[in-house]
Amino acid sequence: MRIDRLELIGFKSFAEKTTFNFHPGITCIVGPNGCGKSNIVDAFRWVLGEQSAKSLRGERMEEVIFNGSVSKKPKGMADVTMVISGLNGNNPPTTPLAKGGEGGLLNENGEGSSDIRYVTRRLYRSGDSEYILNKNQCRLKDVKDLFLDTGLEVRSYSILEQDRIAEIINSKPQDRRFLIEEVAGVMKYNVRKKEAQAKLESSRTNLQRINDIIIEVKKQINLIDRLAKKAERYKRLSSEVRNIELKVSKRDYQAVKESFEGILSEYNRLREDESLKRADLARIESQTETKQLELLEKEKVLEQIQMKFQNLEKEIAELEKSIAVAKTERDNYKEYLTKLYQQEEEFHVKEAELLIKEEELDKTEADLLSEIEKQKELLKGKTDFARFKEEELIENEELLEGERHEIFRISEELSNLRNDQSRLQSSFENLNHREASSVKDAENLKKILAEIGSSLKDLESNLLEKNNTLLLLNEKKGIITDELSASKNRIENLRERLSGLKEELASYTSRIESLREIIFDDSIKELLSENLNFNLLASISDVIEIEDEYEKAIESALSEKVNSFILPSFNDIEIAISALKEKGPGRTAFIPLNPPSPPFSKGGEGGLRGEKIEVPEGTIGRALSFIRTEEEFSGVAKSLFENIFIVRDLKTAFNLIAAGHNLFFVTLDGEVIEPSGTVIVGEVKGVFRRKREIRELEGTIENDKMMIDRVQAELSSVQQSIERKESDLKNIESNIIDIEKEVSLLKLTADNYREEKERKNRKRVYLSTEIEQIINEKESIEKLLMEKDAEIQLVDSKKGGLEQHGASLQEEIAQRRSNLEGCRSAVTDLRLSITSLKERIESVNKERETVLREITENKQKKEFLLTELSSIKSRILQREAEMEAYEEKIRSLISVADGFKTEISERKEIIETENQELLTTEHGLKLLRNQIDSVSQRIAELDIHRTEHKLKMENLSENIRINYGLEIDAIEADPLTEEDENRLIELREKVQELGPVNLGTLEEYEELRTRYEFLTKQQEDLNRSIAELEEAITKISITTRKKLREAFDALKAKFSEVFSILFSGGRAELVMTDENNILETGIDIIAQPHGKRLQNINLLSGGEKTLTALSLLFASFLIKPTPLCILDEADSALDEVNTERFAKMLQDLSRDTQFIVATHNRNTMNVADYIYGITMEEAGVSKVISMQLV
């Protein structure tokens, strides 16, 4: 794999599109500090998916977008594209890069290579970002997967800056393990292991959740099984009830239908009669309307004439107004003309004054130009003399500068010697402090190790106690969870019962409303719904209660009075009748609270007022005996029912009439026999039956409401109990989490103590070695200090002689500089004088321009004034002509207006005569309308009866449709038998005994069974998945452990070899911090450069640390070469000799690895195959210069 190209657009300092073509070997990126070299390295990190803005040397990710410069605007996005080849193991193309297609690469045959990948990352200033792979949008994960285990990753050793090299040396051992992971190539295994562990944890969580759900579903199945059986029985009984109810509905429907057809026949006949009368009415109304339209046309003509007359008057007024306006404008123009003559005289005077001023300015300019020529002659002489003096001063200063350079060089040498002396002295003192500190640290380590052992023992005891507490809390949690589950089941049952009761309550309430709807017709209901202006006490059906057996007979006897209303007096009745008529067609009856006694009884028996008729033999009894009412309404009941007698059937009634009892009889089936012998038959509305049903339903509703209150109270109690248990459970779970955290913390602390103990033991060994080494270094430094003292005395003496000679030369230069400054001052004064004269000339010129401009403006104003004088004179003449024309027009309009006045008077007389004729016709129409209203009223009464019957039919049909989903005409039911009616009562009682039934339980039961089977299958799948994941994790761990062991051994050997090459001797090794746990062990580095004793890497100098880190890096390359290595000023801490070794190693490794190196070092540049130079001609904008080295 190889990097072929990098394209930057708007990334950091690269404002415009910048392309870097990379080749095999070493490519150096050079340029001064701050030119943008490191931005190229940042571009690589960014396109590979770096998410930390700090790693890109910023605070926010938006800072990577070019933010503008003096001449360039900020960019809206940053775009970096990296082109790579050879990802599939094929050799990358070796021909020079060329554009192919839409930015593709061409192989030797000129065709696009299929082994090339384009990786692009974009960031918009809005914060949106995107990753693109081969011009297709993708995820960050796809980019990371592409480079996994290729060595080209954000956190791998293939991209190293100066700080990253120091980080490798100074980081913790645990942070260095990425080196052996990269060499071993186990990054993909680690990724897969983490993914598998995440899936395993998710599967275990899902399994636990499914286990809980299965337990809950199983409980629900056991609970709902009994309810499902009950619902099945209810369904079977309801089906049988349905069949019988259909028979009943069919019978009732046929009876109502026959009555409806009789009413419809009479209704249609009256409608035809009404249509004929309405045709006559329409004809007469049409004639009348024609006359009205003719009259209206005449009135419109009159209005138009009147309008014309008014318009003439307005026009005359407007003309008079125009004359006044024209006169005012004429007077204003004359006044303005006088002012214009005055301005013309003023312009003549100002023009003469400006011409005189222009002549004065010309003379002043000539005098100033003469003075300037004189001053220039003086300036030339002074300038030549000052130049001669300046040349003499420069010669002396150059001589002094030479001596200063020599003094500076000697001072620098002396400073370096003293710095070396100071550094050696400081090192000697540091060694003394380190020796004392190391001895003290060794003594402290002994005490600390004893304290760690004691603390570790206490932690292990505390950990055992916390684990016991955790077991007890988990057991308590299980008990509360079981109680909570039982309470939730109970609350579901209560909610189900509450829902059933509410549905039943809604059904009863709806039934009551339906019953009340059909008792009164629409006009009566509308009357009752408003604020009444009369006192309505009650309706007859509300105040009378009847035994069930006699309801039909009593209602038939009352007939239309069944819905009559009781009012206190006849006065209230009159008001009520008026109100009813206003509401349109409606019919009812009104009864006074204290009705008068009839003059004669209803029958032929009993003659005088108040005489009570005896009950004839053969009757069941007086109707009054079978009703109950309040004392207040007893008079009304007596007046209605006292002389009405109930008989068993028509035959009995006819026998009584034949025996001479001409009374008012009514049978149990509702046939009415009047004293005149008239027999009235037919169905009644069933008002009393409906009223009784309403009372019964209201009682049932009250019981249901009480039951709902009790269920809601119990539901609230159970809910409170659940809330308490959930609160307890939450507290326990919180305690468990807290204790688990404490246990984890204790375990972590114990592990830290053990690790600390091991580190302290290793440090004791290291301190002993360090004290011995410090003593040897102190002896070496004492010898060097004596040599530096002698060198400093010699150089200091040489510096003193040079400083004395420089002082005398400095005095001579000061005298010459003073003379030169005098000459320069005289030259400056002359130049200032000339400048002042030039400024005065410029001022004169400006003043002349002002005068000339004023002369021009004065001429323009005079021209405008003459034009305006001519215009004003013309306007005055025009206004006088307009005034004369307006006056002539007014005289002609007044003559026309007099003619309009006469015509208006004549037309008004004709219109008045025709209005009287229309009034006579309207009176005839009113009589015809009254006749039509009489017929319409009868039609309305029939329409009410027709509507009532139709409503009954529709109600029956609608009930069947709603309850059974059938059309009543399509029902083919067998004739209803007495046995069916008895069976229906029996079935309803059985359904009632079952109580509330939820038919949804059948479907719910089946759903629960299906869900249980599905969950069981999921449980098996999850168990199998967990086993497979655990096996995969085990295999990955085994493979990773083996690869890490092999990689560590190889890296350890190769590191020691490369270290010896770069340091020209010495030795180094890698040590595991935990030999027994290679999957998590850290890596310690031990280095001993040539000529030094074994020491900790932190004691090495900066250059030695860098070279050690590079040794480890190069060793990694030798074991597992990466396709690319990017080094950002990695050689900055190296001296010249070490840089040469570093460059030589780069050259050797470049056969297998492509190197991109940002550097300032010439030795590194010498081994480069290609060099890119970065410049910043404009602040904040980087540019590129490339060069191939042959």
- pLDDT in the model for residue 320: 79
| pLDDT score of 1115 more than 70 | yes
- pLDDT in the model for residue 81: 94
Pull the structure tokens for residue 514.
């339906």
Instruction: For residues 354-382, give the mean pLDDT.
Output: 77
Q: Which tens digit of pLDDT belongs to each residue from 514-563?
A: 666 655 555 455 555 555 656 667 777 777 778 777 877 887 777 767 66
Range with top average pLDDT, 435-449, 738-752, 859-873, 1129-1143: 1129-1143
- pLDDT in the model for residue 119: 93
Range with top average pLDDT, 69-83, 390-404, 689-703: 69-83
Compute, in degrees rounded to 10, the torsion defined by CA atoms 701, 706, 708, 713.
Answer: 170
Instruction: For residues 201-215, give the mean pLDDT.
Output: 82
Instruction: For residues 642-666, give the mean pLDDT.
Output: 82
Instruction: For residues 810-817, give the mean pLDDT.
Output: 74
| pLDDT score of 565 more than 50 | yes
Q: Give residue 863's pLDDT band: very low, low, confident or very high (50, 70, 90).
A: confident
Q: Which tens digit of pLDDT belongs to each residue from 931-985?
A: 777 777 777 777 777 777 777 777 777 777 776 677 777 676 677 777 777 777 7
Instruction: Tell me how far apart the alpha carbons of residues 43 and 104 are, in angstroms, rounded to a whole number.
Output: 20
Q: Which residue has the higher pLDDT, 104 or 700?
A: 700
Lowest mean pLDDT among 459-463, 514-518, 817-821: 514-518
Pull the structure tokens for residue 139.
């995820």
- pLDDT in the model for residue 500: 75
In what helix (H) or strand (E) does residue 536 lie, and over which residues does it extend?
Answer: none
- pLDDT in the model for residue 83: 92
- pLDDT in the model for residue 65: 92
Instruction: For residues 71-98, give the mean pLDDT.
Output: 71
- pLDDT in the model for residue 58: 84
- pLDDT in the model for residue 120: 95
| pLDDT score of 302 more than 60 | yes
Q: Give residue 94's pLDDT band: very low, low, confident or very high (50, 70, 90).
A: very low
Instruction: For residues 1060-1066, give the mean pLDDT.
Output: 82
- 77 DSSP assignment: E
Q: Give residue 105's pLDDT band: very low, low, confident or very high (50, 70, 90).
A: very low
Residue given tokens 């009868």 in the structure block: 938
Question: Taking a C-beta distance cutoff of 8 angstroms, is the pair 816, 389 a contact?
Answer: yes
Q: How far is CA 757 from CA 447, 453, 929, in A?
A: 11, 8, 120
Instruction: For residues 227-241, give the mean pLDDT.
Output: 75
- pLDDT in the model for residue 1030: 83
Angle at 860 between CA 858 and CA 864, to 5 degrees: 115
pLDDT > 70: what percent of the chain?
A: 88
Q: Please report the DSSP string for 1116-1182 in residue order.
A: HHHHS--SEEEEESTTTT--HHHHHHHHHHHHHHTTTSEEEEE---HHHHHT-SEEEEEEEEETTEE
Mode of pairing for the β-strands spanning 1124-1128 and 159-161:
parallel
1065: left (phi over 0), alpha (psi -120 to 50) or beta: left
Instruction: For residues 155-178, give the mean pLDDT.
Output: 73
- pLDDT in the model for residue 28: 92
- pLDDT in the model for residue 79: 94
Instruction: Tell me how far apart the alpha carbons of residues 1130 and 161 are, in angstroms, rounded to a whole number.
Output: 6
Neighbours of 902 (CB within 10 A): 8
* Phi, psi of 1063, rounded to the nearest 5 degrees: -95, 0
Residue given tokens 């039909």 in the structure block: 552
Mode of pairing for the β-strands spanning 672-673 and 679-680:
antiparallel
Q: Give residue 7's pLDDT band: very low, low, confident or very high (50, 70, 90).
A: very high
| pLDDT score of 112 more than 60 | no
Q: Which of 410, 942, 470, 1092 is nearest to 739 (CA)?
A: 470
- pLDDT in the model for residue 607: 40
| pLDDT score of 110 more than 50 | no
Q: Give residue 599's pLDDT band: very low, low, confident or very high (50, 70, 90).
A: very low
- pLDDT in the model for residue 518: 56
Q: Which of 270, 147, 66, 232 is nearest to 937 (CA)?
A: 270
Mean pLDDT, the chain, whole residue set: 77
Instruction: For residues 799-808, give the mean pLDDT.
Output: 71
Residue given tokens 């008014």 in the structure block: 310
Q: How far is CA 72 from CA 11, 795, 939, in A?
A: 14, 55, 93
CA 830 distance to own-chain centroid:
77
Pull the structure tokens for residue 1068.
């180094």
pTM attached to this predicted model: 0.37
| pLDDT score of 263 more than 70 | yes
In what helix (H) or strand (E) does residue 412 lie, and over which residues does it extend?
Answer: helix 187-519
